[in-house]
Amino acid sequence: PGTPRGAKLPVVVYYHGGAFVVGSAADPFTHSYLNALAAEAGVLAVAPEYRLAPEHPLPAAYDDSWEALKWVASHAAGGGGPDPDPWLAEHGDLSRLFLAGASAGGTIAHVVAARAGGLGVRARGLLIVHPYFSGAVDIGDEGAAGKERKARADAFWRFLYPGSPGLDDPLSNPFSEAAGGSAARVAADRVLICVAEKDELRDRGVWYYESLRASGYPGEVELLESMGEGHVFYCIS
């Protein structure tokens, strides 16, 4: 709304959720949400597909998502690399790039944003919605939930990523010692973390917000909590 005809649009690269095992940019929930986002916000949305576990164990999803961002970035200044998309090249303004993702896609969005500086890419903003992070040390209500829940989380992560060191893998815990402070290098001017009151992952989202603020990341960090709502309610209701 209000975008002049022919004007280039901000580009939002959005990574879908699904615990790395289900989901697609084409599923009805994600597709409808992105249609509404593009129409109401006046943006051009790019929703990459990525390979899913267990057929394609992690880090395949992260690798594919990173390749997708590199492909999007190749359209800057009217380029498009070896496989350009005419619509993105003609209508996308890569100087106004935003990265976003929900659930597992929120985790992916963080990882690609932390890598993006090395590519010379910087986003105007990073949107992390109900992220699927974890870690070996209990935070929030995880201790009260008992060892069984943490054991299930660890087992599931190892199912997704055989050979991983566990929940403190940097792809699961961006603030672990193994991550080497990479979170502070998020290549975005500001970060918005969204959590939902009734979401089992709510405390991890708050933990991400607090940890990013304390990491040395120099941009703006904000937290938005949706009261009375559950996990990714905005696109499955």
Question: Two tokens at 105?
Answer: 């896609």
The verdict on whether 83 is a catalytic residue reads no
In terms of Cα–Cα distance, which of 205, 121, 221 is closest to 112? 121
Q: Map tokens 């699904």 to a residue.
A: 18
Report CA 194 to chain centroid distance, whole Å: 11
The verdict on whether 103 is a catalytic residue reads yes
Catalytic residue among 16, 65, 75, 103, which? 103
Q: Do residues 83 and 150 touch, judged by C-beta distance below 8 A?
A: no
Catalytic residue among 176, 199, 211, 215, which? 199
Residue 119's CB is within 10 A of a number of other CB atoms, namely: 14
Q: Under DSSP, is residue 46 helix (H, G, I), strand (E, B) or coil?
A: strand
The verdict on whether 203 is a catalytic residue reads no
Catalytic residue among 75, 110, 130, 231, which? 231
Q: DSSP secondary structure string, 124-192?
A: SEEEEES-----SS--TTHHHH-HHHHHHHHHHHHHHSTT---TTSTTT-TTSGGGTTGGGG--BSEEE
Q: Which residues are catalytic?
A: 103, 199, 231
